[in-house]
Every structure is written in C-alpha cells, then in structure tokens.
Amino acid sequence: MEPGAPPTGAAPPGDETADFERLLMPLLGSAYSTAFRLTRNAADAEDLVQEAVLLACRGFGGFEAGTNFKAWFFRILTNAYFSKYRQQRRRGTAVELEDTPELYLYLQTASLGLHAKVTDPAEALMNRLDAELVGAALQELPDEYRAVAALYFINDMTYDDIAASLDVPIGTVRSRLHRARRMLQRALWRAAQEHGIVADLDAGTA
C-alpha cells in the first residue's frame, strides 16, 4: 500500500467514525471557542459546532490520513459559518477600523505620556482591559478579519494552518491578520476611552 493512501474502504464504517471521534474530541474546546468568537453568541456557536461535526463526520472519507486534521476540520467549520451567517450585518464602525495605522496603541499611549511614566506601557494599558472588553473588541471586526484573528489568537495557528483552515492563500492570511491586529488595537483603545481607562492612565491613577 502506498504511503498516504486514503483509508477509505479499508475500515468498516463504524471504525471510521470511531477514528473521527478520536481526532475530533480533543478539538471541541477550541472549536467551540472559535465558533463563539465567530457567531458572537453561545447558542449559535453550539449549533455551528454540531453542524460542522456532522458535515465533517460524513465527509471524513475525504480526509487524507496523516495530514492536518485540525486545519481540515476548521475549514469545514469556517465554511459552515460563512455560508450561514455571512452578510448578516455590516457595522459602520468597521470602515473606520480598516484605516487604523500601524503601532496604533503604541502611538496613543506615547502621546498620553505613558511611556515616560511607566516602564511597561503596554502592560499598564492591557492590565486594565479585561477579557470581556477584549472579546467585545474582537466582535467589532468584520467577518473575514475576525475569522483570521480568532484562528490566530485562540488556536495559536501558523499562517500556513490558518490559510488551510480558511482555504485562502497565505498572502491573504498575512495581510488580513496584520490588519486585524491594528483594527483590534483601535477597538481596544476606544473601549479604554469609553470605560474611563484612558482618563485614569492620563491622571496616573491606573
């Protein structure tokens, strides 16, 4: 038998499903986390994961043994998401976010004078932004940026794995991710302003 030959047909169907289950179950937490960031709510995230599991299970014959199961499964999950939820809404704020320059938070905190006041200005700011605010900032990104950011931040994926998961070229992943990070920085700064964190940092009471 050739190496890498598809296992399809070799094993009885029940066994194949058992193989699938063995590969899938350790990924459920990250699948749910990613689905939650994509759909923005728990109920839709659970539905999306179940839909992806069913599609993946039935399409498991198409998975090439020995290749990256995680990327293969996440591709099915993100495809399911995009076909179901895409274009559901467009936020006006997204346009503004897309123009965010590089080093956005660095420059904002510098002009606040924070760099002269503390040894680690990034930490001084980020310590004040809790998980809920960071999650909310991610929600502001348009779909295609949010998907890349979720795979990158939650799953610690390389550009290659993200490209395989989203079925886009690696150059697209690179430019979207870099941009997504800048957009996220701007959304975080706005959250910091709205929650009085910037004022606190400015007054030195952080």
Verify binding: residue 121, another protein, rule CB under 8 A: yes
Near another protein by CB under 8 A, which window of 73-81, 92-100, 119-127, 196-204?
119-127
What is the pattern of x (binds another protein, CB under 8 A) and - over residues 12-41?
-xx--xx-xx--xx--xxxxxx--xx----
Q: What is the largest CA-CA distance in the chain?
A: 71
Verify binding: residue 78, another protein, rule CB under 8 A: no
What is the pattern of x (binds another protein, CB under 8 A) and - over residues 80-109?
----------------------xx-xx--x
CB–CB of 133/188 below 8 Å? yes
Tell me the one-letter amino acid at 84. K
CB–CB of 108/193 below 8 Å? no
Measured CA to CA, the distance from residue 170 to residue 148 in angstroms comes to: 11
| Angle, CA 54 vertex, CA 48 and CA 59 arms, to 5° | 125
Measured CA to CA, the distance from residue 168 to residue 137 in angstroms comes to: 24
Footprint of another protein (CB under 8 A): 13-14, 17-18, 20-21, 24-25, 28-33, 36-37, 42, 46, 49-50, 53-54, 57-58, 102-103, 105-106, 109, 115, 120-123, 126, 129-131, 134-135, 138, 150, 153-154, 156, 158-159, 174, 177-178, 181, 184-185
